[in-house]
């Protein structure tokens, strides 16, 4: 497998040097900050990423204040109490993006968050405690127990909330392939995902960098 120093060097050559590359690294939150993050912000971020998936992001961003207002600021305990009639009205509300299946996911993910909070104190506490050496386990949990949180959607939720995580964009996958990892585009099988996790674990040990920075540098190296 390719050494991470070679990947980093390519990224620097393509983007104007180490300082330029370092300036492009995503922000991270401490474990303490993640643990104290509010459940309503997790539900809001899940909803935002779900509506952005397969859609024009800037449209979602432009409408986001309306989403916050329509969904009362995303308190999970209130969202789970919505009646089917209220969900139907939300799905037809022109203030937000009218996609019934995605609107339904808001309520399903509110219940997901409440279930996790009951078991772990809050959703943020679970995320804060989850080891980066097993991110694929966290991805699997979000896909299995959440709604529409598989693939890059769940990964972007974690990244946007400040969790140290990789995101398997097309560029990151191509970097893995170039480095000798036997994976195809949009890897989903457990064995292939474990190969990816193992590669990131090795690069993390080699470089000492956060997983999110390694992921971004991989993308910048192409």
Q: Which residue has the higher pLDDT, 72 or 186?
A: 72
Three-state secondary structure call for residue 108: helix
**Residue 102: how many CA atoms within 13 Å on its side-chain side?**
20
Kindly report the length of the chain.
222
pLDDT of residue 148: 98
For residue 187, the model assigns a pLDDT of 86
Given a cut of 90, is residue 185 above it in pLDDT? Answer: no
CB 152 within 8 A of CB 168: yes
Confidence (pTM):
0.96
| pLDDT-based confidence at residue 140 (cuts at 50, 70, 90) | very high
Q: What is the mean pLDDT of residues 66-84?
A: 98
Domain 38-121 has CATH 3.40.50.1820: no
| All CATH 1.10.340.30 domain ranges in the chain, comma separated | 38-121
Say if residue 188's pLDDT is above 90.
no
109, 149 contact by CB (below 8 A):
yes
209: alpha, beta or left? (left if phi > 0; alpha if psi -120 to 50):
beta
């Amino acid at each position: 497998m390719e050494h991470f120093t070679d990947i980093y060097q390519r990224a620097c050559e393509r983007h104007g040097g180490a300082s330029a590359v370092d300036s492009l690294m995503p922000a991270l939150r401490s474990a303490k900050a993640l643990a104290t993050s509010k459940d309503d912000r997790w539900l809001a971020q899940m909803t935002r990423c779900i509506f952005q998936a397969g859609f024009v992001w800037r449209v979602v961003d432009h409408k986001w204040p309306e989403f916050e207002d329509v969904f009362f600021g995303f308190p999970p305990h209130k969202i789970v109490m919505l009646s089917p009639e209220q969900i139907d009205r939300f799905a037809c509300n022109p203030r937000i993006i009218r996609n019934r299946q995605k609107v339904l996911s808001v309520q399903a993910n509110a219940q997901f968050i409440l279930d996790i909070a009951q078991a772990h104190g809050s959703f943020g506490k679970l995320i804060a405690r989850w080891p980066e050496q097993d991110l694929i386990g966290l991805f699997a949990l979000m896909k299995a127990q959440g709604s529409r949180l598989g693939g890059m959607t769940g990964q972007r939720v974690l990244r946007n909330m400040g969790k140290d995580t990789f995101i398997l964009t097309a560029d990151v996958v191509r970097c893995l392939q170039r480095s000798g990892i036997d994976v195809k585009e949009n890897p989903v099988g457990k064995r292939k995902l474990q190969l990816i996790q193992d590669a990131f674990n090795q690069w993390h040990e080699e470089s000492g960098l956060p997983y999110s920075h390694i992921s971004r540098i991989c993308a910048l190296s192409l």
